[in-house]
Amino acid sequence: MIVDKDVVLNIAELAQLQIEDDEVDHYVDSLGRILQLVEEMQSVDTQGVEPVSNPLDGIQRLREDRVTEEDQRELFLANAPESEQGLFLVPRVVE
């Protein structure tokens, strides 16, 4: 995939980011370099290399399914600039 101006502007629109005209070239360049690194990784020969997901033989621990969290709604809502009926009120982001 080649990152050009159109790709950057499209990504910015999808992510709802405002990018100034004179910044576009910078993002074309830096996003392009990340994709180059991805290509570099894809060119590595991994034939015969055993996949490793955890070097410490970590296991997925299980626990009894019981409620461990206590009700702290008031404490958590204290961070909300606005709340209503125990819910966070946030600005509308989806048209």
Partner 1 sequence: MIHEQSIREILNSLDKKEYSCRELVDHFIARASDANASLNAFITDTYETARNEADHMDTLRSNGTAPSLAGIPIAHKDIFCTRGVKTTAGSLMLDNFVAPYSATVVEKLSAAGTISIGKTNMDEFAMGSSNENSHYGPVKNPWSEKVVPGGSSGGSAAAVAARLCVAATGTDTGGSIRQPASMCGITGIKPTYGRISRWGMIAYASSLDQAGPMTKSAEDAAILLNIMAGYDEKDSTSAEQPVPDYTKCLNEPLKGLKLGFCKEYFGDGLDPKIEIAIQTALRQFEAQGAEIIEISLPSSKHAIPAYYVIAPAEASANLSTI
Residues making contact with partner 1 (CB under 8 A) = 34, 37-38, 40-41, 44, 56, 58, 60-61, 63, 72, 75-76, 78-79, 81
CB of 45 to partner 1, least distance (A): 11
- Distance (Å, whole) CA 94 – CA 64: 39
CB of 54 to partner 1, least distance (A): 9
Q: Provide φ and ψ at 87, rounded to 5°.
A: -120, 150
Which one, 2 or 52, has the nearer CB to partner 1?
A: 52
Q: Is residue 3 within 8 Å of residue 31, measured between CB atoms?
A: yes
